[in-house]
Chain A
């Protein structure tokens, strides 16, 4: 260890070096969190494999899921399992954003990981970025897996409007991760964050059409769903997938409102220690 030049401007130089702007070590932090996540087999299963398992299970176990629908208006000729496929992306988003993401954040605060990091040049916000990235990566893998299995094994059609789908995805993720961020930012224990996350998880998936596919919902329920987190997302994705209906303006307003409001609240209430 160097003992010379106690007041040498080393850190100053480091701060102004172009290569070390922003958050030095953030890449390493994301890579490390990604690796740690793979050691948590429960989370890996639920975020990555659960949507696929759920879709295949329903397709095989529930009679008529793979029969073309009769007299279903614009949906005639599609199968029930087709209509469930966009919902599986919502399942992946909800699992990552409401169970894994807040549990990790609250757990890191509970264990003092955030406090420990705050003594280093890495801002504790880096952990948020890392955890969000990790969950994002895994939910995308989970979604792609579910869709690939649906298309290859269950003969589900590919999305018609990729542009609309890709436009929907970030807002859908934003509105759910905003809720996760509030839970993870406020609750002092990982177990509490996971538990309350689960309490929100199932109602949101109901509005996303996990029990009754969105097109089969009564109109009042459909309207309510539009304004719930993931409900609007599921509807917009269904429109993108099958090309049925107009541009989902209300759904986008809904997702935008949820994203902005939850992140605003999260920033205000987040506790670092």
Chain B
């Protein structure tokens, strides 16, 4: 495929082109270990140039899924296509063009970042300049320090650099910022965005909601081996059926019933919450209540609107499936 405007990939909406040029296509993936099913049924596509997040609780099947995509494990069932080929059938194709950063894997204790990058560069047909990567990841000053003497953040950055040294088209990053301090996490996020802007598709495995919300163009929530949700962060956090929720505290002596708020057509539900009430209703519930209060000369003590965070969605999804069991 000759894409005319690949350079604009990073700036155009990634969701718009998700089906035009998928670099990863997974259908009905299944994987069981001896005593437990890790992945029951997972299907998704990753478009070129997007940051695709895979979320889930520990043991939900995230790592297994990406390890199969990276050809580190064999699937029991399903179809996998990476850059147009089945990784099983043509492993070299995938290994030359997919960079992987693995959870819990380290390097030789005495190797330095510069040596490691030069070594890994030698494995690829058209590698990135190791010195440029050291600079990009801010590792120049520690370039000749033994791996074991690097800090957690430096090891993590080196690990990302190694995933990028082969100039991959796809970079799979597993638990990118686990164990990093807040500043290092923010630096790493900035780096990932820069890498994506250079045209690399990124698959990010994480259990941090803020990370997924901040970085991902689209994401998938895996729970108990199945896809619980798939979409952009905005799609996932949008309230279902346009419902809105806010909290209201009234001056003493007033209640929603005494002001007739429960009779408003926009209001569907009122529940006591702390010193006030939680109102749920249509997308016009907030202005309707404020107008009704104003009409009766009542000034509310406090109004708090609430947008759902990805974390709310995640908890909702995961508990919903737990209740089913």
Cα of A120 to Cα of B92 in the assembled complex, Å = 9
Interface of B is mostly: loop
Once A1-B167, A5-B2 are accepted as A-B contacts, the answer to whether A115 and B122 lie under 8 Å apart by CB is: no
Nearest A residue to B104 by beta-carbon distance?
A112
Is A76 located at the chain interface by the 8 A CB criterion?
no
Chain A residue numbers with a CB within 8 Å of B104 are 112
Q: Once the chains bind, are A28 and B118 in contact (CB under 8 Å)?
A: yes
Distance to closest chain A CB from B118 (angstroms): 7
Q: Once the chains bind, are B102 and A1 in contact (CB under 8 Å)?
A: no
Chain B residue numbers with a CB within 8 Å of A25 are 119, 122-124
> For chain B residues 194-242, which have a beta carbon within 8 Å of chain A?
198-200
Binds B, one of A8-16, A222-230, A242-250, A259-267: A8-16
Is A50 located at the chain interface by the 8 A CB criterion?
no
> For chain B residues 63-87, which have a beta carbon within 8 Å of chain A?
70, 72, 83-84
Chain B residue numbers with a CB within 8 Å of A163 are none
> For chain A residues 95-140, which have a beta carbon within 8 Å of chain B?
108, 111-113, 115-116, 118-122
> For chain B residues 102-131, which have a beta carbon within 8 Å of chain A?
102, 104-111, 115, 118-120, 122-126, 128
Q: Which of A3, A118, A120, A122 contacts B9 (CB 8 A)?
A: A3
Cα of A12 to Cα of B83 in the assembled complex, Å = 13
Q: Once the chains bind, are B105 and A113 in contact (CB under 8 Å)?
A: yes
Once A4-B6, A121-B92, A121-B96 are accepted as A-B contacts, the answer to whether A111 and B105 lie under 8 Å apart by CB is: yes
Chain A residue numbers with a CB within 8 Å of B2 are 5
Q: Once the chains bind, are A39 and B105 in contact (CB under 8 Å)?
A: no
Chain B residue numbers with a CB within 8 Å of A36 are 108, 110-111
Q: Once the chains bind, are A115 and B123 in contact (CB under 8 Å)?
A: no
Is B166 located at the chain interface by the 8 A CB criterion?
yes
Q: Mark A27-61, 1 if CB is under 8 A from B, else 0.
A: 11100110110011000000000000000000000
Chain A residue numbers with a CB within 8 Å of B7 are 3
Is A215 located at the chain interface by the 8 A CB criterion?
no
Is B296 located at the chain interface by the 8 A CB criterion?
no
Nearest B residue to A1 by beta-carbon distance?
B198
Q: Once the chains bind, are A120 and B125 in contact (CB under 8 Å)?
A: no
Q: Once the chains bind, are A111 and B95 in contact (CB under 8 Å)?
A: no
Q: Which of A2, A5, A108, A120 contacts B95 (CB 8 A)?
A: A120
Q: Once the chains bind, are B169 and A6 in contact (CB under 8 Å)?
A: yes
Distance to closest chain A CB from B234 (angstroms): 26
Distance to closest chain A CB from B179 (angstroms): 15
Cα of A119 to Cα of B87 in the assembled complex, Å = 12
Q: Once the chains bind, are A112 and B105 in contact (CB under 8 Å)?
A: yes
Q: Once the chains bind, are B105 and A2 in contact (CB under 8 Å)?
A: no
Is B93 located at the chain interface by the 8 A CB criterion?
yes
Is B139 located at the chain interface by the 8 A CB criterion?
no
Once A14-B96, A29-B119, A111-B106 are accepted as A-B contacts, the answer to whether A118 and B72 lie under 8 Å apart by CB is: yes
Chain A residue numbers with a CB within 8 Å of B9 are 3
Q: Once the chains bind, are B84 and A7 in contact (CB under 8 Å)?
A: yes
Chain A residue numbers with a CB within 8 Å of B92 are 11, 15, 121
Chain A residue numbers with a CB within 8 Å of B48 are 6
Is A160 located at the chain interface by the 8 A CB criterion?
no
Q: Once the chains bind, are A24 and B100 in contact (CB under 8 Å)?
A: no
Q: Once the chains bind, are B105 and A116 in contact (CB under 8 Å)?
A: yes
> Taking each of B3, B9, B23, B105, which has the highest tally of chain A beta carbons within 10 Å of its own beta carbon?
B105
Distance to closest chain B CB from A94 (angstroms): 24
Chain A residue numbers with a CB within 8 Å of B193 are none
Q: Which of B98, B102, B125, B200 contacts A24 (CB 8 A)?
A: B125
Distance to closest chain A CB from B157 (angstroms): 15
Q: Once the chains bind, are A14 and B125 in contact (CB under 8 Å)?
A: yes
Which residues of B are in contact with A by a Cβ distance under 8 Å? Answer: 1-3, 6-7, 9, 21, 23, 48, 70, 72, 83-84, 92-93, 95-100, 102, 104-111, 115, 118-120, 122-126, 128, 146, 162, 166-167, 169, 198-200
The 10 closest A-B pairs by CB, nearest first: A112-B105, A3-B199, A14-B125, A25-B122, A28-B122, A119-B100, A11-B96, A25-B123, A122-B123, A39-B110
A-B contact pairs, 10 of them (CB 8 A): A1-B167, A10-B126, A25-B119, A27-B122, A29-B122, A32-B119, A113-B107, A115-B102, A120-B123, A121-B166
Q: Apart from A17-B125, A116-B162, A121-B166, what are 14 other A-B pairs with CB-CB below 8 Å?
A: A3-B6, A3-B9, A4-B6, A7-B1, A11-B96, A12-B93, A36-B108, A36-B111, A111-B106, A112-B104, A113-B108, A119-B70, A120-B166, A121-B95
